[in-house]
Amino acid sequence: MKRGRADSTWAGWVAGCAIGLACWASNGPAARAQSGSESGVARRDELRFRNGDVLFGKLGSISPRAGVAWSHPDAEDALLFGGGAITEIHFGPLAEEPSQTNSCRLIFMNRDQIEGDLIRCDAEQVIFDTAFAGRLMIPRSRVDTIIPLDAKRRTVFSGPEGLEGWTMGKVSGVITDSGQWGYHNGAFLAAKAASIARDVQLPDLSVIEFDLNWKGMFYIAVALYTDYLHPVNLANKDQEPNFGGFYSLQLNTYAANLLAVKKSDPIKYLGQVAVGSFNQKSSAHIEIRSNRHKKTVALLVDGLLIKQWTDNEDFAGKGTGLRFVHQGQGSIKLSRLRVTEWDGQFEEPRSHPWDSKDDLAKLRNGDRVMGKVEKLENGQLFVSATATKLTVPLNRVKQIELAGTGVEAGNAAPHEMRASLRRGGTLTFRLENWTTNGVEITSTNFGRVLCSPWVFERVVFGPKAFVPRTD
């Protein structure tokens, strides 16, 4: 028997595995998510233990020797936990994130990444201004790649902060019962088939990124550049109300597929690609990059480019909206949704030989400049090449791969912590002290600094991060 599916025409998916939202967390907040928005509730952090338990509340402080001080609404005083029982902390969304220009990204030899403003790079050091730790003096030997960013890239949407402003839609033609998305603590959650949409004013060149967590199997369709905020049953789209064209990016436990959907034309299949990592874990960072002018849509999973699709006809998307349709299989959680403008560029893995004595600058037009980077300053790149010296405006540079001293593994030492940062990137460090006023860390890349706590979105403790040290 053939069944239609909202924003989907795939068949043969396994029924069942409908895990209730009550199973999402051990102390039950997800079970309450379906009741509606909880925007306005104080930020809640998550403390995760080695035995799998999760405790919600708010971080007070971290001492490598004393452990973690934690506030909980049911506890009159702060709770103190020994570090040996804790694996990581997830920080809830901020009410307001400090503005950052972030005109440059640095990739370090240990694969850490940070964003900020490049002040100067010379033969000895890189001077780098950051919103979270002020000015950093970084030995040039610690920097692997310098990537200029579009400082004017605009954030179109960041959230979610609740259900207000989103359109709920009823999903028809699915095997399981339909329901609605719920909101809790900075995330959308669904255990039944559900649709939620919003006109986020997608720009012609856009980046849509979000974190996706799932229990059991999952199947979600993301409608891009739609002008219609209700789900579309693709198997019976001719009977649906009038809607403009859109792209349907369909993600499931095993693969990704892109469809071009128009009301009066047959559905156009642009291609399917296997995503092997999906069935090996239960979470991923999804990034969708679209270019209306070049008629392309690209999918990145955990920073890796999975596939870029090109439509050889007119760009199908007729609107500026975004729609998420959960097909009812398993439970899913969608958080850290951000929509930004895009400059149309893709980062490239390092291709420059590690033993080269020269640096390599890759330009946005595809050209390459080989030589010695004498300095980067005031928006100009100065390169000493064979028998000549070149000056290149930094806005023409895609990335600069510095001559390396050898490959350094990206694994943190047992006494270190590894953090994910709110605007993207990672940081590996030894923690000296963490309070609400500041986080004092020591990094192998730039030494001892004081960071603002807001920059951290998640921290993972090494197995010996809390072992008393004698140094």
Spatial CB neighbours of 471, under 8 Å, sequence gap ≥ 6: none
> Could you identify the residue written with the tokens 């030899």?
109
**Whole-prediction pTM:** 0.70
Q: CA-CA distance, 306 to 212, in Å (whole number)?
A: 16
Asked if 383 contacts 392 with a C-beta cutoff of 8 angstroms, the reply is yes
Report pLDDT for 21: 40
Task: Break the chain into its structural domains and give their ranges.
Answer: 104-150+346-401, 155-341
Q: CA-CA distance, 428 to 416, in Å (whole number)?
A: 7
Token pair listed for 225: 């550049």
Helix-strand-coil split of the chain, %, nearest 5: 5, 50, 45
DSSP for 358-377 reads: SEEEEETTS-EEEEEEEEEE
Residue 292, CA distances (Å) to 152, 224, 296, 312 in order: 19, 11, 7, 12
Backbone angles phi, psi at 291, to 5 degrees: -135, 105
Strands 54-63 and 134-139: unpaired
Report pLDDT for 174: 57
Report pLDDT for 366: 81
Q: CA-CA distance, 64 to 61, in Å (whole number)?
A: 10
User: How far is Cα of residue 298 from the mean position of the Cα atoms in its chain?
Assistant: 15
Report pLDDT for 19: 31
Architecture of the domain whose range is 155-341: Sandwich (2.60)
Report pLDDT for 351: 66
pLDDT-flagged residues of the chain (< 70): 1-43, 95-101, 150-152, 173-176, 347-351, 354-355, 405-412, 467-471
pLDDT 10s digits, 295-353? 999 999 987 889 999 999 999 999 999 999 998 778 999 988 989 888 787 766 666 77
